[in-house]
Structure 1
Amino acid sequence: MIAERRLEKIREEVLKLHDVAKRSVEICLEGLRGNDEIRRKLEDLEMEADIIHSDIDYDCVTFIALFQPVARDLRFVVGMMKTSSGYERITDLALEVGYYYCYDEELLSLFEEMRKNLLEMFKVLEDSYAGSEVGIVHMLKRHDNVVDECYEKAIVYLKNKCKVEPVLVARHLERMGDILGKIGSTVVFIESGKRIWIK
């Protein structure tokens, strides 16, 4: 059926955007030491994310206009628009992180712990897209809590040093965790119609 094919196309586009956002998080900390090649890759990923996000929005709005979906299909389309926005924002934040500089090993260690947990959150979401909702809320909360704890440690560490860029790196990485938690909430809402908060 035409409607199902269009929904599958939207799903595939969101999975592609998920992958782009994940790749941007994987490499963003490499830019902190002034790696211009990584910064160019982050710029390319951010541009790719913008294009995919725009395509998803167009496809979702077109689907709503053509098929006037209700119930699960409407939740899916609206949820995919929100999810797409979240992933696109993550690539923006990763690009910003890559533009900063940091040579403080203690901070880099905290940032690495944050990145590790963000990538685990991406993995939880990948599993949920493949049909496994087992523990999604608990697992996303657990990883987001670690990201939040690292953020708080970074802020305490930086309090006396007054270094602005590392504070922003910590904030952006923490924000990515919040966005991934919101995406997880959307996945649960699409499947069950239940509103949950992962924070």
Structure 2
Amino acid sequence: MRDALEQDLNHVLSGALEMLSTVERMLPIAAAVLNDTDTGGMEAVRALDREVDAHETRIEAECLRLIALHQPVARDLRLIALVLKSLTDIERMGDYTVHVAEDGEELSRSPALKKYVNLTRMLDRLQEMAAALRQAISERDVAGANAAHVMDDEVDDLYEQVQRELVTYMLEDPRNISKSLILMRVGRSLERIGDHMENVAERVQYWVTGQR
């Protein structure tokens, strides 16, 4: 009975990691759309987001079946809680990545306001966060999860830089307002992706140690 439970627990955890990995794959494609280097990227991002949604539905059902079928002990329940609570965060990461690609596609219809240096850095850092978070969960590594958590500080700092820079562009020339507002929205989407990753990272310590 215990072996069957362990197998099922590993299966739902693997599913959650695959879901996070799918979001990780979405980020560089969204970056390419934003920087106007991948004209077919929008549909690829949407297709991957559909995969994320399908993962969420399947894994949630598996977690509920586990609770109903077995009698999980405290640590097992912590793992199930980690997965269940993180599903929504990962699904929202996918949604925000789609928003970034959609805004990038809209921006590509006219000359760029500027090079999107800090936004690209945010996307790069989010990819690193996702990879670090997947590894931390796979290895039950609290320190690794904390490291991923700290990366979000850089994402927040870059977001603030983007906002200040775009306000300056709008003040200099009212014709920049429309594009600047779209770029602010891109920055906000990226900042929210980081927040959702941070939420998942914060749960790892409780799962591994039982301490909040």
Assess same fold via TM > 0.5: yes
Q: Render the CA deviation track for 1:127-181: whole Å, top value 9, x for unaligned.
A: 2123152633542243111100110011111124232211111011111111111
Q: Partner of 1:189 in structure 2? A: 206
Give the superposition deviation at 1:105. Answer: 3.5
Q: 2:121 aligns with which of 113, 116, 132?
A: 113
Is the 8 Å Cα contact of residues 23 and 90 (structure 2) preserved in structure 1?
Answer: yes
Q: Partner of 1:16 in structure 2? A: 18
Distance 1:142 1:129 in 2: 16
Q: 1:53 aligns with which of 41, 56, 64?
A: 56
TM-score, length basis structure 2: 0.85
Q: 1:153 aligns with which of 144, 151, 161?
A: 161
Give the superposition deviation at 1:89. Answer: 1.0
The answer to whether structure 1 residue 62 and structure 2 residue 76 are counterparts is no
Which stretch of structure 1 is more off in the superposition, 68-77 or 91-100?
68-77
The answer to whether structure 1 residue 91 and structure 2 residue 94 are counterparts is yes
Distance 1:50 1:194 in 2: 30
Q: 2:186 aligns with which of 155, 158, 169?
A: 169
Which stretch of structure 1 is more off in the superposition, 117-126 or 30-39?
30-39
Distance 1:71 1:134 in 2: 18
Distance 2:37 2:183 in 1: 14
Distance 1:81 1:49 in 2: 14
Unaligned runs of at least 5 residues, structure 2 = 171-176
Q: 2:144 aligns with which of 109, 115, 136?
A: 136
Distance 1:137 1:9 in 2: 21
Structure 1 vs Structure 2 CA RMSD: 1.7
Distance 2:149 2:56 in 1: 26
Q: Partner of 2:173 in structure 1? A: none
Unaligned runs of at least 5 residues, structure 1 = none
TM-score, length basis structure 1: 0.90
2:26 maps to amino acid: S
Q: Render the CA deviation track for 1:39-79: whole Å, top value 9, x for unaligned.
A: 00001001000000100100011111111323111111011
1:5 maps to amino acid: Q
Distance 2:147 2:6 in 1: 30
